[in-house]
Amino acid sequence: MPHPAPPDAEARRAVVPVICYPTEALPAPDLALYRAARATASPAASLTVPPRDARAFRVPAGSFLRISCPEGAQVGDLNLFAAGNLEERFFSGKTRALHGTHLTTGDRLWSCFPYLRPMATVTDDSLDWYGTDSFGGRVHDVIGTRCDPYTHRLLSGGEYHRCCHSNLTRALAAETGLPLAAAEPHIHDVLNVFMCTGFTADTGRYFMKASPARAGDFIELLAEIDLLGLLSACPGGDCGAEHSSDAARCHPLQVDILTPAAGALNGRAVPMPSAYSRGHGVG
């Protein structure tokens, strides 16, 4: 049975919130420099991520990573690692705490402890017009995890082997030569590119709705450090109905790596791992 509200219930609810992590002191990316460098960039590599599958790719520091929908609305799950060090990986929770539940131009993807540095910066987003819809939905989320066979089995009792978690695991194993069992623990919470999500106003439950992306939509990031990336084309397609399905209409995703002209990023501050001393009972 619910507990009755106390006499001062409304006063408690009326307490004004404060931002947990004020970000005024965060080093801001030099977007003007990045945009000027992007104008000089030329294609260096490209690959197609097939529907219900994943691929690995490498992005040198100072290069641009462009993820696009070449044929139609398609959600993707992105993992990032520091090239050569699988222990430094994308930290979606801290990224969310610093920038909010959804990312767009100017936001950064931060790495895990003890490194805590920008891995990539969003430099362009063709869906930045979407904003927040009447349901509270926004695009490119860092609140979900990734569809996985464990939750699928928990909720449905079924077996499904094309979940993004599984796709990302296979892609990492293929790229590194690790056995699947050794690769799986490295797979981490993702940036859900092109996914439209939010929380319901009445119960606070995580929801998804059909992605507003169309053929030609893209998100671009500048690699702040040398990166190993993994991208899965979600088996839910645009995630308008479900995200572990062989019935959803799915499309490929396109990955392009673009290299700026020599010297175009002169003056860029290269992010170093956190300077926090690890001699205080951690590490």
In angstroms, the CA 274 to CA 283 distance is: 13
End-to-end CA distance of the chain: 45
Rounded to an integer, what is the distance from CA 31 to the centroid of its chain? 19
In angstroms, the CA 184 to CA 161 distance is: 13
Q: What is the DSSP string of 156-183?
A: HS---S-SHHHHHHHHHHHHH---HHHH
Residues 180, 113, 99, 130, Cα dihedral to 10°: -10
DSSP-assigned beta bridge partners for residue 207? 198
Whether 278 shows a pLDDT value over 80: the answer reads no
Query: What is the band of 27 on the pLDDT scale with cuts at 50, 70, 90?
Result: confident
Sequence letter at residue 81: F
Q: Of residues 61 and 277, which shows the higher confidence score?
A: 61
Tens digit of each residue's pLDDT (9 = 90 or more) over 197-235:
999 999 999 999 999 999 999 999 999 999 999 999 999
Whether 242 shows a pLDDT value over 90: the answer reads no
The model's pTM is 0.96
Tens digit of each residue's pLDDT (9 = 90 or more) over 48-102:
999 999 999 999 999 999 999 999 999 999 999 999 999 999 999 999 999 999 9
Mean pLDDT over the full length of the chain: 96
Q: What's the pLDDT at 46?
A: 98
